Amino acid sequence: MSEPRIRFERVSLEFPTAAGPLRVVDDVSYDIHEGEFVAVIGPSGCGKTTMMNMLAGFQRPTSGRVLLDGREVAGPGSDRGVMFQEYGVFPWLTVRENIAFGLTLKANRVPAGEREAIVERYLGLMGLAGFADAYPKHLSGGMRQRLALARAYAVKPQFLLMDEPFGALDAQTRSNMQNLLLEILAAERKTVMLITHSVEEAIYLASRIVIVTARPARVREIVAVPFAYPRDEAIHEAREFGELRSHIRDLVMDEYRAQQGQARAVAFSE
Ligand SMILES: Nc1ncnc2c1ncn2[C@@H]1O[C@H](COP(=O)(O)OP(=O)(O)OP(=O)(O)O)[C@@H](O)[C@H]1O
């Protein structure tokens, strides 16, 4: 098999807290290969974002290594398009300027004419054309999220790192955005890591799903999704889809209960 593009190698991370070190990620190892789409799912607060932060280069592991094409991640880079829950739009730039921003940076610079075409394309695809000159504070939460998606896609990064990218969207827009992501991936090969709380979304989009435990996040199980691309919404009705959904839901519920138990134990000890 080819070299993985992304490798988590025995990665652990502890945050210093007043009560002592808090272990959030514990001995996590898995690989993501070229063109793969890996979804990460697990209970809230278990350490998924922290895992992605290390890949994005925002945080360093306490031990172990995160490798990109065999090299240890040393910091953020234009090869990785990141779309975090609370990250990705600049309030002081208009919608149009936000989308264009990444395309003016040295690493991704494209000529002005091409830049305009890309901006127009994403304004249209994201349903933001009527708001091109508005500032983010005048947008709804869902529109801001679509703007963050437009920014991440516009620079055509090799890697897409997405943390709950569709969380603030209504069901119909969410489904449109999932399909748009699949279309973009079919046209421009990318390697993707997506954090989601939705088991359905993970199965519909991903080629593999990493289920992580209650905090500290460890790999509980990695499942392969048995559907080829391009995907059709009809797979939601397939028997294998339902079986996989039940299996993953059981694992996630189990970890959710473990996390609730931990929270109760802390409450009683305080
Ligand atoms: N800088 C920090 N210092 C101390 N603790 C932190 C810090 N950042 C995160 N944490 C804690 O680490 C744990 C994991 O956080 P993280 O955001 O990675 O979880 P998550 O699985 O992405 O959660 P969610 O699904 O709710 O977004 C949480 O308990 C959080 O409070």
Give the tens place of pLDDT for each residue, 42-100: 998 899 999 999 999 999 999 999 999 999 999 988 888 888 765 578 999 999 999 99
**Residues 175, 122 share a domain:** no
CA distances from 132 to 126, 127, 136 (A): 11, 10, 10
At residue 241, what are phi and psi to the nearest 5 degrees? -60, -45
User: For residue 11, what are the β-bridge partners?
Assistant: 28
Whether 248 is in a domain gets the answer no
Residue of the nearest CA to atom 26 in ligand 1? 44
Residue 77 in contact with residue 66, Cβ under 8 Å?
no
CA distance 117 to 86: 27
Domain-located, residue 134: yes
Q: How far apart are the first and last CA of the chain?
A: 50
**Interatomic CA distance for residues 156 and 175, integer angstroms:** 22
Residue 252 has a pLDDT of 94
Domain count, the chain: 2
Residue-level pLDDT, tens digit, the chain, 270 residues: 678 999 999 999 999 999 999 999 999 999 999 999 999 999 988 999 999 999 999 999 999 999 999 999 999 888 888 887 655 789 999 999 999 988 887 767 778 888 899 999 999 988 999 999 999 999 988 888 889 888 888 888 899 999 998 887 889 989 988 998 998 888 888 999 999 999 999 999 999 999 999 999 999 999 999 999 999 999 999 999 999 999 999 999 999 998 888 777 666 655
In a domain, 259, yes or no: no
Using a 6 Å cutoff on CB, does residue 47 contact ligand 1?
A: yes
Domain identity same for 67 and 7: yes
Crossing angle of helices 95-104/112-125, nearest 10°?
130
Tell me the CATH number at 195. 3.40.50.300
Over the stretch 136-155, which tens digit does the pLDDT of each residue have? 999 988 888 889 888 888 88
Cα of 85 from ligand 1 centre, angstroms: 13
In the structure encoding, which two tokens stand for residue 154, read together? 């516009």
* Domain, as residue range, for 137: 89-157
- What token pair was written down for 230? 């391009």
User: Within this chain, do residues 177 and 202 fall inside the same structural domain, yes or no?
Assistant: yes
Q: Is residue 262 part of a domain?
A: no
Within this chain, do residues 168 and 75 fall inside the same structural domain, yes or no? yes
Contact (Cβ atoms closer than 8 angstroms) between residue 160 and residue 83: yes
Sign of CA dihedral 45, 192, 218, 244: positive
Do 93 and 75 belong to one domain?
Answer: no
The owner of tokens 């079919």 is 186
Report if residue 241 sits inside a domain. no
Q: State in Å: Cα 50 to ligand 1 middle.
A: 6
Answer yes or no: do 53 and 150 share one domain: no
Question: Are 72 and 15 within one domain?
Answer: yes
The widest CA-to-CA distance across the chain, in whole angstroms, is: 62
Question: pTM for this one?
Answer: 0.91
Contact 44 CB / ligand 1 (< 6 Å): yes
Q: Which two tokens stand for residue 76?
A: 């953020």
Residues 172, 57 share a domain? yes
Tell whether 166 and 45 lie within a shared domain: yes
Ligand 1 lined by 13 (C-beta under 6 Å): no
Tokens found for residue 249: 């839901």
